[in-house]
Copies of this chain bind each other. A is one copy, B any other.
Amino acid sequence: MTELDTHGMLRGAGLRVTEPRRAVIEALSGLPHASADAVHARVSQSLPDVSLQTVYNVLHDLTGRGLARSIEPGDHPARYELRVGDNHHHLVCTHCGAIADVDCVVGQAPCLTPDDDHGYAVAEAEVTFWGLCADCRHAVVAPSPASVHL
């Protein structure tokens, strides 16, 4: 198991080392693809006084310095991950919003060049796979109205 060097990460990015920030990084490490709320809940276990606003601030700082990445799937709340810079994509559950990682599908830079860029300076290509996660397949598809038994 790789030791998580929160101190080094923060200082390396030019950020001050504080308990809330270390706790957010640790939360994200244990909960990849967590929402701000989920991070807050996790952080609150060890630091009950950290506010949700602080979690938002920290997540904003981390993403701004490249230590974290935010994923904003459709109309689901934003989620955050520490995996950055390795060009991977996401499976998103249309029902519950759960997210899973997908390593780059076609070689290393899939679909990275549109044939016509319409004058845009393209910086990044993002691939999102939409579907039902295993849990929701069972919960949503399987029990038809008539077959549900409580």
Interface residues of A, Cβ cutoff 8 Å to B: 72, 74-75, 78, 89, 91, 93-94, 100, 102-103, 105-106, 110-111, 113-134, 137
- Nearest chain B residue, comparing its CB with the CB of A119: B134
Q: How many copies does the complex hold?
A: 2
Contact B91 A117, beta carbon cutoff 8 Å: yes
A128 to chain B: which residues have CB within 8 Å?
A: 125-128
Min C-beta distance of A70 to chain B, whole Å: 8
A120 and B132 in contact (CB under 8 A), knowing A114-B89, A125-B127, A127-B125?
yes
A111 to chain B: which residues have CB within 8 Å?
A: 89, 105-106, 110-111, 127
A122 to chain B: which residues have CB within 8 Å?
A: 91, 129-131
Closest 5 CB pairs of A and B: A119-B134, A122-B131, A100-B118, A102-B114, A120-B131
A74 to chain B: which residues have CB within 8 Å?
A: 72
Contact A118 B106, beta carbon cutoff 8 Å: no
Min C-beta distance of A114 to chain B, whole Å: 4
Distance between Cα atoms of A137 and B119 in the complex (Å): 9
A-B pairs with beta carbons under 8 Å apart, 7 shown: A91-B114, A102-B115, A102-B116, A106-B110, A106-B111, A120-B132, A125-B130
